[in-house]
């Protein structure tokens, strides 16, 4: 069983990064220390919170935990979408819908049990992946519309709707946001050992059982980010047009 001494000894890896930053004059020492301290405090706090929730085994605590995780993920993702008017409702809607669809499918097909020890970790995986996808989608959408401003305005002048005028940009944003997720699934088990599988093996589970569960997670990673991407683009492009269907860049 791991002890806090083991955690302390693992600071060797932090020292390596700190030393490289010093020797190469990267000026990342403060960031390294902050990341180390924050991750320790946050993970310890979450660990005790999960211990309480698992012991209570009540659906309200589970839903509350997932909702808070979703809020934090949506807020973080929205923070990346500078230049887009009110991005938080978009990222929150995208992530909430992704989680709801994932949980409904997994529970209705009886793939997992409706217990917090299953729902919360899986929700965390969905939130992590959809958060990254939402961030990339919003950034690509913003940059794409700015780069293609003249083309979009020409199409609007020809009587095209904002959605049709932005269609190529929307498709490009979705494609670029989903490619990293698909690439990570393609090389699963070949280049890297996925987290869920590694955790189960370290916990003593059969490698075959761990692989089966990881396959489910991989398929989840394909589907839920796609939901987030389509929600972000379908709602996001509207933020660049006013009620007169005129293109507005850097709207605040």
Say if 251 falls within a structural domain: no
User: Residue 228, Cα to own-chain centre: how many angstroms?
Assistant: 9
pLDDT tier for residue 250 given thresholds of 50, 70 and 90: low
* Same domain for 64 and 47: no
On whether both 153 and 189 belong to a single domain, the answer is yes
Q: Which of 237, 110, 228, 214 is nearest to 164 (CA)?
A: 237
> Is 247 part of any domain?
no
CATH number, position 231 = 1.20.1640
Task: Report pLDDT for 217.
Answer: 85
The DSSP result for 76-96, as a single string, is HHHHH-TTSSS-HHHHHHHHH
Whether 248 is in a domain gets the answer no
* Claim to verify: residue 141 and residue 208 sit in the same structural domain: yes
Question: Which residues make Cβ contacts (< 8 Å) with residue 233, sequence separation at least 6?
Answer: 137, 141, 170, 173, 174
Q: Is the pLDDT of residue 177 over 80?
A: yes
Range of the domain at 198: 58-240
pLDDT in tens, 32-71: 999 999 999 998 999 999 999 999 999 999 999 999 999 9
CB-based contact 77:95 (threshold 8 Å): yes
Whether 120 and 53 have beta carbons less than 8 Å apart is answered as yes
Please check whether residue 175 lies inside any domain of the structure. Answer: yes
The answer to the question of residue 108 being in a domain is: yes
Is the same domain home to 95 and 211?
yes
Residue 31 has pLDDT above 90, yes or no: yes
Domain count of the fold of the chain: 2
Residue range 114-171, pLDDT digits in tens: 899 889 988 998 999 999 999 999 999 999 999 999 999 999 999 999 999 999 999 9
Nearest to 178 by CA among 146, 140, 207: 140
- Give the per-residue pLDDT at 176: 93
Domain check: are 168 and 77 in the same one?
yes
Asked whether residue 231 is domain-assigned, the answer is: yes
In a domain, 4, yes or no: yes
Q: Domain check: are 100 and 192 in the same one? A: yes
Question: How much is the pLDDT for 193?
Answer: 57
Residues 6+ apart with CB under 8 A from 28: 17, 21
Q: Is the pLDDT of residue 73 over 90?
A: yes
The residue-averaged pLDDT of 228-246 equals: 92
Mean pLDDT of the chain: 89
8 A C-beta contact, residue 162 and residue 237: yes
pLDDT at 252 over 60: no
> 19 with 130, same domain?
no
Question: Does one domain contain both 208 and 194?
Answer: yes
Domain boundary among 19, 41, 56: 56
Whether residue 183 lies inside any domain: the answer is: yes
Largest Cα separation within the chain, whole Å, is: 69
Please check whether residues 119 and 151 belong to one and the same domain: yes
* pLDDT class of 211 with cuts at 50, 70, 90: confident
Query: Around Cβ 224, how many Cβ atoms within 10 Å?
Result: 25
Examine the domain organization and report whether 127 and 186 are in the same domain. Answer: yes
- Residue 191 scores a pLDDT above 70: no
Write down which residue in 33, 56, 79 finishes a domain.
56
DSSP string, 19-59: HHHHHTT---HHHHHHHHHHHHHHHHHHHHHHHHHHHH--H
Asked if 15 and 133 sit in the same domain, the reply is no
Q: Do 72 and 44 share a structural domain? A: no
- pLDDT score of 184: 82
Of 56, 76, 101, which residue is a domain's last? 56
In this structure, of 18-22, 81-85, 134-138, the range with the lowest mean pLDDT score is 81-85
Write down the pLDDT at residue 215: 85
Average pLDDT over residues 195-216: 75
Which secondary structure element, helix H or strand E, spans residue 167, and what is its range?
Answer: helix 167-186
């Amino acid at each position: 069983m791991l002890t806090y001494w083991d955690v302390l000894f693992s600071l060797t890896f932090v020292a390596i990064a700190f030393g490289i930053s010093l020797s190469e004059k990267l000026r990342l020492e403060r960031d390294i220390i902050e990341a180390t301290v924050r991750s320790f405090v946050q993970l310890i706090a979450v660990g005790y919170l999960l211990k309480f929730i698992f012991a209570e085994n009540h659906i309200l605590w589970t839903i509350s935990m997932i909702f808070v995780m979703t809020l934090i993920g949506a807020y973080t993702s929205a923070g990346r979408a500078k230049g887009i008017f009110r991005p938080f409702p978009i990222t929150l809607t995208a992530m909430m819908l992704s989680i709801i669809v994932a949980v409904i499918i997994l529970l209705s097909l009886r793939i997992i049990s409706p217990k917090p020890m299953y729902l919360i970790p899986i929700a965390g995986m969905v939130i992590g992946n959809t958060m990254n996808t939402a961030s990339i989608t919003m950034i690509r959408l913003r940059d794409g519309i700015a780069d293609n401003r003249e083309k979009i305005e020409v199409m609007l002048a020809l009587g095209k709707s904002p959605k049709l005028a932005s269609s190529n940009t929307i498709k490009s944003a979705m494609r670029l946001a989903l490619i990293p997720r698909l690439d990570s699934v393609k090389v699963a088990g070949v280049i890297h050992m996925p987290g869920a599988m590694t955790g189960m093996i370290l916990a003593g589970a059969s490698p075959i059982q761990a692989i089966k569960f990881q396959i489910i997670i991989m398929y989840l990673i394909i589907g839920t980010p796609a939901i987030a991407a389509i929600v972000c683009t379908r709602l996001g492009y509207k933020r660049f047009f006013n009620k007169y269907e005129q293109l507005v860049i850097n709207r605040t």
